[in-house]
Chains A and B, each alone.
Chain A
Amino acid sequence: MSRRVGMEVAIAAAEAVALCNIDVAAVYPITPNTHVAEHLAEIVAEGRIDSEFITVESEHSALSAVLGAAGTGARAFTATSSQGLLYMQEVMPIASAMRLPVVMVIANRALSGPLNIWNDHSDIMLQRDTGWISLFAENGQEVVDMLIQAFKIAEHREVMLPVNVNMDGFQLTHTVEPIELPDQAEVDRFLPEYKPYATLHPDRPVTMGAFAMPEIFTEVMKAKDVAIVNAKKTILEVWKEWESLFGRRYEPVAAYKTEGAEVVLLTMGSMGETAEVAIDELRREGISAGLLKLKLWRPFPFEELKKAVKGVKVLAVTDRAVSYGGPGGPVCTEIRSALYDEPDRPVIVNYIIGLGGRDVTVEDFVTMGKRALEAKTKKSREAYKFYGVRGE
């Protein structure tokens, strides 16, 4: 039986990973992910799980170590944040190209500089094209659930790709939340033993991470792209199974009161809950507003998004990262692109919000909803706005 606990989300993330029968973890602590590393190291040191915790000297080594471990057939885990994630970046496309199913939790944090330890999504957005499956959790419960789901998705024979689970730094990591923590028997039923496609073993030689000439490289990249596109089918199956076992529903694009809504906001991560309250407020004021919460970032859920915005007049996409000198925030850019060929696409406005830990309140979302509606009738619109920036 699951038990309901009041637990800091970073601690709960480590507890969730401990339930997954991991063989190896290598984590280099970095704010705001430190408690994941500390608590997991503690769990291993206390002998609660039979795993190796490798104390590495950097994030580059952490991901390299779990990659090597995964190559031997071990179930392997790592975690990081911000600059640490950038330090891992060199290894990230290698993990996906080698089709090694490692799982990572990312406590999302702004990139330096200036140095800032607080939350936004600039760290993960820079990893967009590394070939990892990327999930976004809205609250502590979703962090726990998605981490357990992540191993099953990653290791599925039709997927064999690394997965990262994104949790907002501080807003989630350092918040104590009520969480249903599944018990060991439940997780064991859901998550079978890892059966690797191939393992490094002296008796059965295999080359992983081979050199590829121009004659083959394009075909390898095509195979990798098809693998992540096709992974959506497995992700949906795993989420369906999770719902049947635990009663909690997961969707690539979760909708809140979007039925017949004129203006729809779109968020990723923990701001979804704040935005829900704003939607209720807007509706009390007589504005037909709704909310979409993007939970699956890679593979991008094109069909689900198109279906979710059908009939919507104005879509206000929020981004917690900037593409400097680019066409808009990374999320909005993709959404515009995804909807370009739709005959009845909504007017799309883009708000850059919540950078480096700037609070985004219910009132802010209410204002964004109203401004987006006004933007509908304007002849020319800015591609994106820094919402709330002082000086304009």
Chain B
Amino acid sequence: MIEKRWPETWQEVNPGCMVFTPGSSQEYHTGSWRAGRKPVWDKSKCIKCGVCYIFCPEGCISANEEGYFTGNLTYCKGCGICPRECPTEAITMVNEEG
């Protein structure tokens, strides 16, 4: 879902399309790009190395309180890079419902 509100008219566009609100790109939920498959982490195989976090082009993978990595599906585009790079095959792409 794209929730960002656009300027209604060209007159309301900031000069140079400048954006004065830091972090506003987070309002654009790139997870809507996913085409039916999402990454799923298997905690039993995860060695907390962080390779998936480093390779994620969207920057949406982070460690939880226990140190295990997981992806934020609001922004995950489903590219499949993390399962390909994971050295212990702890990540698999699974079909999403619906």
Q: Using a CB–CB distance below 8 Å, which chain A residues touch chain B? A: 97-100, 160, 197-198, 205-213, 215-216, 218-220, 222-223, 226-227
Contact = CB atoms under 8 A, between A and B. Distances in A.
Given A216-B7, A219-B9, A222-B10, A98 B22 contact: no
A211 B18 CA distance: 10
Interface string B8-19: 011111011111
A206 B20 contact: yes
Size range of the interface on B?
10 to 19
A207 B6 contact: no
Interface in B23-78: 24-25, 28
Contact of B15 (A99, A212, A215, A218): A99
Contacts of A220: 10, 13, 17
Contacts of B20: 198, 205-207
Contacts of A98: 16-18
A172 to B, nearest CB: 32
Nearest to A212: B17
Given A208-B16, A213-B2, A213-B28, 15 more contacts: A98-B16, A98-B18, A100-B16, A197-B18, A206-B20, A207-B20, A208-B18, A215-B2, A219-B7, A219-B9, A219-B10, A220-B17, A223-B10, A223-B13, A226-B10
Interface of B: 2, 6-7, 9-13, 15-20, 22, 24-25, 28
A216 B15 contact: no
B19 A207 contact: yes
Contacts of B25: 211
Contact of A97 (B7, B12, B17, B24): B17
A201 to B, nearest CB: 12
A19 B25 CA distance: 41
Contact of A216 (B16, B17, B18): B17
Contacts of B18: 98-99, 197-198, 206-208, 210
Contact of A160 (B9, B12, B16, B17): B16
Contact of B16 (A97, A211, A213, A222): A97
Nearest to B15: A99
Given A205-B22, A206-B20, A197 B7 contact: no
A226 B11 CA distance: 10
B91 to A, nearest CB: 28
A207 B6 CA distance: 16
Contacts of A223: 10-11, 13, 15
A211 B16 CA distance: 11
B6 A215 contact: yes
A94 to B, nearest CB: 10
B27 to A, nearest CB: 11
A219 B19 contact: no
15 contacts: A97-B17, A99-B18, A160-B15, A160-B16, A197-B18, A205-B20, A207-B22, A213-B6, A215-B6, A216-B6, A216-B7, A219-B6, A219-B7, A220-B17, A223-B11
B93 to A, nearest CB: 27
Contacts of A209: 16
A219 B13 contact: yes
Contacts of B9: 219
Contacts of A216: 6-7, 13, 17
